């Protein structure tokens, strides 16, 4: 694994009407400074390991 990976922080935020909007979900345990990774079926925190499972979508 690489020692350093470039983090593209501009992909985590959006500016709308002069206000900053976070695009990724934040970890409820770690606080507003830590974002959760989005996988196919879950959200997970890389810092503390907290996981939230996504609800399956019903197909019509």
Indicate the annotated binding residues for Zn(2+): 27, 30, 45, 48
Nearest to 10 by CA among 21, 26, 2, 25: 21
Sequence length of the chain is 60
Residues annotated in the binding site, as ranges? 27, 30, 45, 48
Contact by Cβ (8 Å): 24, 32:
no
């Amino acid at each position: 694994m690489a020692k350093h990976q470039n983090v593209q922080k501009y992909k985590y935020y959006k500016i709308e009407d002069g206000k900053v909007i976070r695009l990724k979900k934040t970890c409820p345990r770690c606080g507003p400074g830590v974002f959760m990774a989005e996988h196919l079926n879950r959200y997970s925190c890389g810092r503390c390991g907290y996981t939230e499972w996504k609800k399956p979508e019903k197909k019509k």
